[in-house]
Chain A
Amino acid sequence: MTPLENEITALKKELINMWILVQSQLNKAKDAMVQFDKDLAREVLIKEKRVNSFELKIDRDCENIFALHCPVAIDLRFLLAALKINTNLERIGDIAAGIAKYVVDSSVNFDVAAMESTSMIRMYEEAVNILIDTRTAFEKEDTVLARSIFKRDDVLDAINDAASATVAEVIKADIDSLPEALYILSIIRKLERVGDQSKNIAEEIIFYVEAKILKHYESSHRDLPGEEQQG
């Protein structure tokens, strides 16, 4: 392998490690929420610093590779994608920490029935699965899997769109549940962002592997590879 290939392999490994950490943060925040475990939530908040240091290190590694190896073609696309995936992962890390903060701040535990009726738990599980699948797509350079993320994000969007009504129902049924209902609504809004970040990551994977740009492209056309813009 050339020195550049070694650098890129190491960078890829680093990104995957960050991915695993962010995924674990998101899962722990969920467990903390369901079990109303404030200690676990605090652990997520502390580990957020590790996510941030991953982001800084990957940024610096990319900068060094640009400066020292002048990458071109697929290597250049990989690095550009790595920089953006890095940012997206860090934001998902922030979202996990944000959810954990709600658990720490909340004085009452979240009602399981309310979490079910608003489909929040289902949304949470799907958001985590989407994140796992983007990682697999990245590791295996699988653009078919990456493309499947766009459709699955629609599921999250649908739950998010319905959230105002479903959360209103929870409040109507029991006005005392207002504070936790608002937390649930906020968490749904945050999970919708996880879907968007994962979609951005999927676009970067396709850009890096196929040199095709899907950003700002009509979602109805995303599944038609022939019509995409060339990078």
Chain B
Amino acid sequence: MESTIVRAENYNAYFGDNHVVKDVNISINKHEVIAVMGPSGCGKTTFLRGINRMHELIPNATAKGKILLDDQNVYDMNAIYVRSKIGMVFQRPNPFPNLSIYENVVAGYLLNGIKISKADKDVIVEKSLTSAALWKEVKDSLHKKGTFLSGGQQQRLCIARAIAMQPELILFDEPTSALDPISTSSVEALFHELKENYTLIIVTHNMQQAARVSDRTAFFYMGELVEFDDTKQMFTNPSDQRTQNYITGRFS
């Protein structure tokens, strides 16, 4: 039985007076891969950052409505706790440059002052890097700086760092837009594996990527969630004309 992990209820986000996300209602199930697409400035990234309460870190940014994680409003929870439950991977790989690969993976624990034993750390590092399909490539150089890795490897290291905190949900903000095609396909293959244990929400500008990796796709336009449906349906016969215009490149 599919169960909802995260739900937005009448969610609105603003930058000052600028209303960038308008009355979004969406319900996402466990172990789903959701692609979020839409033209630049449509509010998709802002919506994503609203889910793990990163939106409010920007001066003047406000939000209304609810984001429910397992039926609890994230705005009633401790923001740091929310961000540990909802991991995030960004457009450009951003491993901590002064930390080793090993330290990068457990950075969430180190920086939050969570004390864990060396043995536990070893287990977390191996498990997370294995889940991020990076273990085999880096197991002999765990104590080298993370920045020595290639772009694709760095991005998988960031994914491992997100996984290490055992989140329920992982948000990806255009995770492959700075990667070459080979690294992109390795990250996309990883999405399929991660789906077994996590729920993924991926903001992407690459429509073919949305089509390839996701179960359902959300289309945002001018701050509104225009259409949210099975990816196959969206790419063969979308119900909204605006979606059709966007995916067929007919937007003027």
Contacts and interface: CB of A to CB of B under 8 A. Distances in A.
A229 B252 CA distance: 32
Contacts of B248: 4, 71-75
B243 to A, nearest CB: 8
A231 interface: yes
A113 to B, nearest CB: 53
B235 A73 contact: yes
A5 B207 CA distance: 18
Given A77-B236, A211-B237, A72 B250 contact: no
A72 B246 CA distance: 10
B249 A2 contact: yes
B237 A230 contact: yes
Interface in A102-126: none
B238 interface: yes
Nearest to B245: A73
Interface centre among B207, B208, B247 (most CB of A within 10 A): B247
A75 B238 CA distance: 12
B211 interface: yes
B208 A73 contact: no
A77 B237 CA distance: 9
B244 interface: yes
B132 to A, nearest CB: 28
B236 A231 contact: yes
Interface in B215-249: 235-238, 244, 247-249
A70 B235 CA distance: 11
A171 interface: no
Contacts of B208: 70
B250 A5 contact: yes
Contact of B249 (A4, A76, A77, A231): A4
Contact-size category for A:
10 to 19
B250 A231 contact: no
B249 A73 contact: no
A79 B94 CA distance: 42
Contact of B244 (A5, A71, A73): A73
Contacts of A4: 248-249
B250 A211 contact: no
B138 to A, nearest CB: 34
B100 to A, nearest CB: 41
Contacts of B249: 2, 4
A212 to B, nearest CB: 9
Nearest to A210: B237
A183 to B, nearest CB: 46
A72 B236 CA distance: 6
A211 B250 CA distance: 19
Interface centre among A72, A76, A230 (most CB of B within 10 A): A72
A66 B42 CA distance: 29
A50 to B, nearest CB: 33
Interface in A189-221: 211
Given A2-B249, A73-B247, A77-B237, 7 more contacts: A4-B248, A70-B208, A71-B248, A72-B235, A73-B244, A74-B248, A231-B237
Interface of B: 207-208, 211, 235-238, 244, 247-250
8 contacts: A5-B250, A71-B248, A73-B247, A73-B248, A77-B237, A230-B237, A231-B236, A231-B237
Q: Would you list the 10 A-B pairs with minimal beta carbon distance, nearest first?
A: A211-B237, A72-B235, A2-B249, A72-B247, A73-B244, A75-B248, A73-B248, A73-B247, A73-B238, A70-B208
